[in-house]
Amino acid sequence: MGDNQATTNTNTQAAAPSSAFDALGLSPQLLKAVLDAGYTTPTPVQAQAIPAVIEGRDLMVCSQTGSGKTAAFMLPAIERMTRAQRSPGARGPRLLVLSPTRELATQITKAAEQFCQPFQRMRVVSILGGMPYRVQNAMLAKPYEILVATPGRLIDQLERGRIDLSGVEMLVLDEADRMLDMGFIEPVEAIAAATPASRQTLLFSATLEGRIASLARNLLREPSRIEISTPQTRNDNIAQHFIRADDMAHKNKLMRHILLQPDVTQAVVFLATKRDCDRIAQELGDEGFSVAAMHGDMEQRSRNWTLNQLRQGRVQVLVATDVAARGIDVPGLSHVINYDLPRAAEDYVHRIGRTGRAGAKGTAISFAGPADIGVVKRIERYIDRKVDALVIPGLESRRPANDSPRSDRPARKPGFGQKRHGAPGAGRGGF
């Protein structure tokens, strides 16, 4: 399928205001499900992708998290399945959605179940790591139309002979860039090879270059390309700040100061390693914070329990690694603290997007160590804005003022008299 690539570049600029869902070709039953789910106006990615998918095109979609991409592929997929009968003798799923993480897969499954409510025979199954095989085997033994899975567990079930993908009509790779970053390139290609060559394929990613472009050449046929430039990349509703940090001890003091501020309702603290994640969570718990940790070594049951505790407001501080970043969807999160900066600017956007959900205001504060100068500059280029530096009185960095990502700007005297998003009493300073 990779020999006849002719990418059609259909939409590479910021999308115009979109029309209502009833103009996108959805059936009255599905439109009712959309309205019942609380949707009113399509997002730009939904307005462009839904008609294209209904027409049967393969798609490459560059869209950030929080842009509404789940509905952008799930709604037209359901529409296509309701319009046509399953091929005679076909088994297994008609729609296969691959997701990099269990948390994201769970969100997709819930959305699919909600949209499928008007269609009694439209059954959704999820196959995720951490679920007992006995439970999964029982679900797979009954007829189903939609399968949402993480690549590792799906490959495992394929090798066990529990899943037949010969009837797949549409394959969706959600957050394909993350799947490649997590080392799933071979499982994804093996899964695609087990589906019919005639399938429709949709690829959603934060970037369409490099390895993603190579994957698309192998798996998609003459895809249309949609690139959405939205405020989500800039996160204009999120106050973003950097604080110069000298070392781990300095970061610990800064973190505690911020978390003790009255405007912090709930916060996520991101760290680079699982070991540091557990250590920081333990230390904060010992100091009386309502805290929980979340990372890839935890069992799925524990991760689900932790997310529920966060959503119910019983946990004030979640200490997490990037593995958990995209599965966190809690409206009440007021702050994100990047204790360790991510290496990729895209991951920074995904992290801070945990706050400021559904149009609410949020605050993201990142600690930048001596080795993070280049990272800060990459992030600023990626989000196309300068990020203000904060100086907290009494917790100033000992580093020289010119040892900073913003050394091209003269240092300004901190404006401590102004109240800002984030830690009260913190002022701007030359980064």
Instruction: Spell out the domain ranges in the chain.
Output: 8-231, 235-428
Q: Which pair of tokens denotes residue 385?
A: 């804005």
User: Can you count the helices (H) and strands (E) in the chain?
Assistant: 15, 16
Amino acid, res. 428 = R
Residue with tokens 């994640």: 277
Do 143 and 149 form a contact (C-beta atoms < 8 A)? no
126: phi then psi, degrees, rounded to nearest 5: -120, 140
Report helix, strand or coil for 338: strand
* Average pLDDT per 10 consecutive residues for the chain, totaling 431 residues: 42 44 91 86 92 96 80 97 81 94 90 93 90 90 94 93 94 91 89 97 88 91 84 72 95 97 95 93 95 84 84 92 70 92 84 82 93 87 86 87 44 33 37 38
Class of domain 8-231: alpha beta
pLDDT at 66: 65
Check residue 17 and report its DSSP letter: P
Residue 137: other Cβ atoms inside 10 A: 12
Q: What angle do CA 261, 429, 268 make, to 5 degrees?
A: 35
- CATH 3.40.50.620 assigned to domain 235-428? The reply is no
331's CB contacts (< 8 A; 6+ apart) are 357, 358, 360
Q: How far is CA 110 from CA 147, 176, 213, 405, 415, in A?
A: 12, 20, 30, 42, 46
Query: What pLDDT is stored for residue 145 in this prediction?
Result: 96
Confirm if 353 and 383 have CB atoms less than 8 A apart: no
Model pTM? 0.58
Distance CA 56, CA 287 (A): 56
Per-residue CA distances from 411 to 23, 42, 240, 392 (Å): 53, 44, 18, 14
Whether the CA torsion 390, 67, 214, 149 is positive or negative: it is: positive
Measured CA to CA, the distance from residue 78 to residue 94 in angstroms comes to 10
Integer CA distances (angstroms), 30 to 39, 57, 125, in order: 12, 20, 19
CA distance 269 to 277: 9
Helices (H), 84-184: 102-115, 133-140, 151-159, 176-181
**In this structure, what token pair is assigned to residue 243?**
């604080």
How confident is the model at residue 64, as a pLDDT?
Answer: 66
pLDDT of residue 247: 94
Q: Is residue 388 within 8 Å of residue 428, measured between CB atoms?
A: yes
Report how far residue 124's alpha carbon sits from residue 252's, in angstroms, rounded to the nearest whole number. 44
Tell me if 8-231 shares its fold with 235-428. yes
